[in-house]
Amino acid sequence: MKVLDDLWHFAKKTRRLRLGPVALHYHFRRRAPLVSNWWLQRQQQIFRSLVTRDIPSMQTDSEFCSERAAAAPLAVIIGAGQGFGFALLEKLAHQGFHVIAVARNASRLQPLFHQLTRLQLKVTLYSCDATDEIAMQRLFNMIEQQFGVPDLVVYSVQYFSPGRAMTIELPAFEEGWRNNCLGGFITARTAGRQMTARGQGSIILVGSTSSLFARADHLNLAVGKFGLRALAHVLAQELWPVGIHVAHLVIDAEIDEGVPGDLTRPKADPAHIANAVLYLHQQPQDSWTCEMDLRPRTEQFWQHC
Amino acid sequence: MKVLDDLWHFAKKTRRLRLGPVALHYHFRRRAPLVSNWWLQRQQQIFRSLVTRDIPSMQTDSEFCSERAAAAPLAVIIGAGQGFGFALLEKLAHQGFHVIAVARNASRLQPLFHQLTRLQLKVTLYSCDATDEIAMQRLFNMIEQQFGVPDLVVYSVQYFSPGRAMTIELPAFEEGWRNNCLGGFITARTAGRQMTARGQGSIILVGSTSSLFARADHLNLAVGKFGLRALAHVLAQELWPVGIHVAHLVIDAEIDEGVPGDLTRPKADPAHIANAVLYLHQQPQDSWTCEMDLRPRTEQFWQHC
Amino acid sequence: MKVLDDLWHFAKKTRRLRLGPVALHYHFRRRAPLVSNWWLQRQQQIFRSLVTRDIPSMQTDSEFCSERAAAAPLAVIIGAGQGFGFALLEKLAHQGFHVIAVARNASRLQPLFHQLTRLQLKVTLYSCDATDEIAMQRLFNMIEQQFGVPDLVVYSVQYFSPGRAMTIELPAFEEGWRNNCLGGFITARTAGRQMTARGQGSIILVGSTSSLFARADHLNLAVGKFGLRALAHVLAQELWPVGIHVAHLVIDAEIDEGVPGDLTRPKADPAHIANAVLYLHQQPQDSWTCEMDLRPRTEQFWQHC
Amino acid sequence: MKVLDDLWHFAKKTRRLRLGPVALHYHFRRRAPLVSNWWLQRQQQIFRSLVTRDIPSMQTDSEFCSERAAAAPLAVIIGAGQGFGFALLEKLAHQGFHVIAVARNASRLQPLFHQLTRLQLKVTLYSCDATDEIAMQRLFNMIEQQFGVPDLVVYSVQYFSPGRAMTIELPAFEEGWRNNCLGGFITARTAGRQMTARGQGSIILVGSTSSLFARADHLNLAVGKFGLRALAHVLAQELWPVGIHVAHLVIDAEIDEGVPGDLTRPKADPAHIANAVLYLHQQPQDSWTCEMDLRPRTEQFWQHC
């Protein structure tokens, strides 16, 4: 398998083909096909129906997936596959949101999905690469057609591979920026355009310690997170007047991902961070927050990644 | 009257009397006697009883003033005489808090006080100069004895007299710092000591644009507000582990003080800012905020005083 | 010509070709071939010799180009084609540096080059795209072989196309980041690796107002400049102990580019900014600066791009 | 002696005497009489002349003290009694400045003074409390009459007594602010008024790590240093247009005070920091710095007091 790994590593690097006065730049990326659980389920149902000769119940399916409850606000979480995004999804669903959970590989979320849908909560999963503009546009178009314009969009992707600036490889550096910053831009712009037409909505960009402090060994996190902060500030000044609440939530904490027995240091309950997202979303228009930080009370300040 | 004004201006300046190797520094200040409405009412009752020969009903009095409802949390607002402090007082009272409102001259709050007490809300007024350590200690001792240790303390004093650094007078510069920063320290230390014993409580220090940006013409505000921010950060790092939530709320906004017809620029509803104070007070211990900003969505960023 | 423009615009966008589980991402870029004036001159000489049948004088050529004066420190300026880089080149050459000037299109610098070489000053020009890792590595290898390890490297590329976040195109956004930040990383890493072996050298990254303030209409500048600042802070903490002085010079000013009659607003003389670069380079090791700002005395603070 | 200490401690606390509607606030301070070495020497000379019956040589005296060399620029250092101020004094004198060294207790500087005057360098000592407005005005008037308007004024007083916010005493808190901030304001205003008339001059305010980071145990340093930073920013925006260069020099370092054998951690040579002061003073008017930091290359960032 090491041969394949090396080959893949080789294929990921950007290469150039000189063609006279221009050059073709290219590299390979893993495809994160835009797949919704709606289609997965449909496939499973069709498969099951083929096996059991049972006609799939369209009603049930559409009930929790392709239709949005009239009163339910719509939330989209980009980066739902990670600790905090995962908990945010659960929290918002319990609060009555119809939640669209987007992850690079949403299949990891299937168990949660089944658990939530059993509780009659509205959750839809999509696999989509947030740094892929075309896929994201298609995703948001699909969301708008099926469920409407989102009320709340959270960008919670974090990519961190520690390393010294002198040894870090360029693809890792670029990949850090693409996930920590570019994906935030694509998300905010795609969602922002839909929300502008409606004149309302919230876009929360999730930062970390490295959004404010760029320290040794944190290069490919800090460059992206500093950029995401710049993005949040610019967007706030451009979109608040339109009615869209852009905010930057700085999580200076380790997030409790439920690993049992791990009591080495204080952790923030992701459900409580989700509360902060909800609070920001619900602020009245004359008192909006652009930036706030969060950490456990027993935590040291600004020591996280 | 100008003679008296000049005389008072003259008396406020710090003077020195040389006494060999030491010097006596002195100046005059207006006395802000520590007076609670409890005493004012008692005096009125006694006065009324002398006139009407009716025995004052101690029960009624103690019911809404000298006793605290068992379940009611206790909030102390320093600087309740100003726009935001005033609205915060109202909001917290309506939210079920027993509110101690402290102002340099609490008599201005009497109309509100009567209005709120008619609604069966618990409000107690005190006149006290927050920059006077001895008076503040006496005040918090009195509060503890009568009502217990406060759950929430807000320092919302703001002193701003615009002026160029070259022409500003030293007493105005010192007075700015004393009100914007020293009073915050005295408040936080006095309340913090009481809260430390209990291991819980919230202290919210209210900042402004000048907490982060020191611009021309804002000297005596910025020096104090920068200092208050430093105070908030130090206190957070020292008191969070003890269980006391210190936070710095940066209000980058003009606060709506209800002047009718004034629509020149966007204003923040003080009741909504009060919501932010409540939100900070109610955050769970694993997700505390140290600093957040607030402004209306149609407001320019960082252009206020 | 509009057809060609549109075609080029079309070709610059990143496209994907799906190949099963992976995707090939590609786009076209203008080639910035790594060409030194040394070669240009050689070509001219050869051409001239073919025409005039005169044998090119290798001595003359190598005198000012392929050999470095023993005592002359070596400076590399990335982004020498722009206002400040241009003046820095002149200043450093006059200060006795052998200057390697690198620009995307160095041919624009030919007039200056001829002027400086006539004055017996040592200047070498290279065309190179700073965001192209392979080309930059080749460039620095070539520099090392011909002239040695640089003493001072300045990254002074700035890319700014104003625009609203909602309308800006993705290639422009990425291009902004690539020029304002990625090129700085590639420069610092390539130079830093050479300097690490020697244990000395200075790397100055040039920032602007948007390095600290992310305002409306400045998205594609601010995201890159925030990132460059993060890069500078990380590099300083990683490379100072090795002996390499990384510093971030924030130019909050319009730079005087010598347009006659343009007196609309105060401008910084680029030769004076060059002084600041020299000062940073010459600081003793026990008193290094990581960040400093510069602006004319009559300029408003933090109002530039 | 402990009785005297306690008595003095008691006398330093601010007390109030109630006088009807006003209150007299008073406390005792050690007198820092405004004494120049010129007078000390005159006294010594008179004393010597009484003893030796020798007439004091006015020429010698005035040569190095009461007259300023025509070409020599004039520097005033407030806080010359401390490590960095002391070295700055030496450096500036060697650079040809006539240096006025002001310390709370200038007698400690006598040995240096004699050493420098033996080298024909121009140094004048004054004892003066920088937080005493009247004394400082008198000092700067005296300087102007004797030597002219200063070209360079440096405020380098630092007062730090570590301690927790809950236990620190109010006089220590106020004293911290008075020394770290108020003295800077009095210095800048007094010098700034003189310089405004001339339309030139530099005022350098010296900050530390606590100017930017307010951490546990650093309360009475951080509150003053944050305030001094606000002061520097306001003054820069108000005085640069007049021609006065106000700058904030952040020393994030331990300063080498020449204690032999102390090699525990990296230290900044105060002569090199003095270079930075000189550099700031000599910047051309179109490229002024408002803020820069300094630390040894082997030092950790932002870990000092």
User: What ipTM goes with this model?
Assistant: 0.86
The burial of B287, by beta-carbon neighbours within 10 Å (0-12 exposed, 13-18 middle, 19 or more buried), is given as buried
The secondary structure of residue B180, as a DSSP letter, is I
* Angle of helix D83-94 versus helix D270-282 axis, rounded to 10: 60
**Least trusted range by pLDDT, from C51-60, C199-208, C215-224:** C51-60
Q: Which residues in B lie closer than 8 A to residue A239 (C-beta atoms)? A: none
Contacting partners of chain C (3+ CB pairs under 8 A): A, D
Q: Max CA-CA distance within chain D?
A: 61
Q: What's the mean per-residue pLDDT of chain C?
A: 85
C256 near D CB under 8 A: yes
Angle at B291 (CA atoms; ends C230, A209), nearest 5 degrees:
30
d(CA D154, CA D149): 14
User: Taking 50 as the threshold, does the pLDDT of residue B166 lie above it?
Assistant: yes
Mean pLDDT of A120-145: 91
D53 near B CB under 8 A: no
Per-residue tokens: C82: 């722009």
User: Taking 90 as the threshold, does the pLDDT of residue D290 lie above it?
Assistant: yes
* Angle of helix B183-198 versus helix B219-239 axis, rounded to 10: 10
User: Taking 90 as the threshold, does the pLDDT of residue C78 lie above it?
Assistant: yes
Q: Which residues in B lie closer than 8 A to residue A241 (C-beta atoms)? A: 297-298
d(CA A155, CA A34): 17
Q: Which residues in C lie closer than 8 A to residue D253 (C-beta atoms)? A: 286-287
Whether residue D230 and residue B239 make contact (CB cut-off 8 A), yes or no, is: no
Position A13 scores a pLDDT of: 75
If contacts are CB pairs under 8 Å, which of residues 173-192 in chain D contact chain C? none
Query: Which of residues C64 and B145 earns the better pLDDT score?
Result: B145
Mean pLDDT of B88-100: 92
Q: Which residues pair with B74 in a beta bridge?
A: B98
d(CA A11, CA A100): 32
Beta-carbon count within 10 A of A39 CB? 12
Q: Give the tens place of pLDDT for each residue, C176-218.
A: 999 999 999 999 999 999 999 999 999 999 999 999 999 999 9
Is C61 within 8 Å of C38 (Cβ atoms)?
yes
Shortest CA distance to C287 belongs to which of D271, D85, D153, D247? D271
Q: Give the tens place of pLDDT for each residue, C246-285.
A: 999 999 998 887 776 666 788 999 899 999 999 999 999 9
**Distance in Å, alpha carbon of B49 to nearest chain A alpha carbon:** 48
Q: Give the tens place of pLDDT for each residue, A27-75.
A: 887 766 565 655 555 555 555 555 544 433 323 333 334 455 557 899 9
d(CA B280, CA B246): 9
Q: What's the mean per-residue pLDDT of chain A?
A: 85
d(CA B90, CA B84): 10
Per-residue tokens: B10: 């003259």
| Residue B92 host element (H or E) | helix B83-94
**Distance in Å, alpha carbon of C135 to nearest chain D alpha carbon:** 31
Q: Give the tens place of pLDDT for each residue, B200-250.
A: 999 999 999 999 999 999 999 999 999 999 999 999 999 999 999 999 999
Is C17 within 8 Å of C24 (Cβ atoms)?
yes
Whether residue A223 and residue C230 make contact (CB cut-off 8 A), yes or no, is: yes
d(CA C187, CA D43): 65
d(CA C238, CA C220): 27
Residues in chain B: 305
Query: Which of residues C161 and B194 earns the better pLDDT score?
Result: B194
Q: Give the tens place of pLDDT for each residue, B65-80.
A: 445 555 789 999 999 8
Shortest CA distance to D274 belongs to which of A229, C236, C284? C284
d(CA C112, CA C100): 13
A26 near C CB under 8 A: yes
Please give the interface size between C and D, counted as residue pairs whose CB atoms are below 8 Å apart: 105
Residues in chain D: 305
The end-to-end CA distance of chain D, in Å, is 32
Angle at D224 (CA atoms; ends D222, D230), nearest 5 degrees:
100
Position B130 scores a pLDDT of: 93
Shortest CA distance to B103 belongs to which of B207, B2, B187, B219? B187
Residue B287 has its nearest CB partner, among A241, A269, A301, at A269
Query: Which of residues D110 and B173 earns the better pLDDT score?
Result: B173
User: Taking 80 as the threshold, does the pLDDT of residue B258 lie above it?
Assistant: no
Is beta strand A123-127 parallel, antiparallel or unpaired with respect to A35-36? Answer: antiparallel
**Distance in Å, alpha carbon of C94 to nearest chain D alpha carbon:** 18
Position D55 scores a pLDDT of: 37
Is B181 within 8 Å of B208 (Cβ atoms)?
no
The secondary structure of residue A163, as a DSSP letter, is B
The burial of B177, by beta-carbon neighbours within 10 Å (0-12 exposed, 13-18 middle, 19 or more buried), is given as buried
Position D47 scores a pLDDT of: 55
Mean pLDDT of A94-115: 86
Residue C133 neighbours by CB under 8 Å, 6+ apart: A14, A170, C186
Q: What's the mean per-residue pLDDT of chain D?
A: 85
Per-residue pLDDT band for A174 (boundaries 50, 70, 90) equals very high
Per-residue tokens: B27: 């100046």
Angle at D229 (CA atoms; ends D223, D231), nearest 5 degrees:
100
Is beta strand C123-127 parallel, antiparallel or unpaired with respect to C35-36? Answer: antiparallel
**Least trusted range by pLDDT, from A89-93, A296-300, B70-74:** B70-74
Phi then psi for residue B238, to 5 deg, are: -90, -35
Position D83 scores a pLDDT of: 73
Position D5 scores a pLDDT of: 80
Whether residue C28 and residue A26 make contact (CB cut-off 8 A), yes or no, is: no
Per-residue tokens: C43: 């070509």
In sequence order, what DSSP letters do the residues of B243-301 get, joined into one string? TEEEEEEEE-S-B----TT--SS--B-HHHHHHHHHHHHH--TTSB-SEEEEB-TTSPT
Q: Considering chain D, what percentage of its residues have pLDDT values greater than 90?
A: 55
Measure Cα distances from B196 to A15, C101, C276 in Å.
62, 63, 51
A219 near C CB under 8 A: yes
Q: Which residues in A lie closer than 8 A to residue B288 (C-beta atoms)? A: 294-297
Backbone dihedral region for residue A96 (phi beyond 0: left; psi -120 to 50: alpha; all else: beta): left
In sequence order, what DSSP letters do the residues of C225-240 get, joined into one string? HHHHHHHHHHHHHHHG
Residue C226 has its nearest CB partner, among A14, A31, A229, at A229
d(CA B141, CA A80): 50
- Determine the residue among B195, B246, B287 to mutate to test chain A binding: the one whose Cβ has the most chain A Cβ atoms within 10 Å: B287
d(CA D143, CA D155): 16
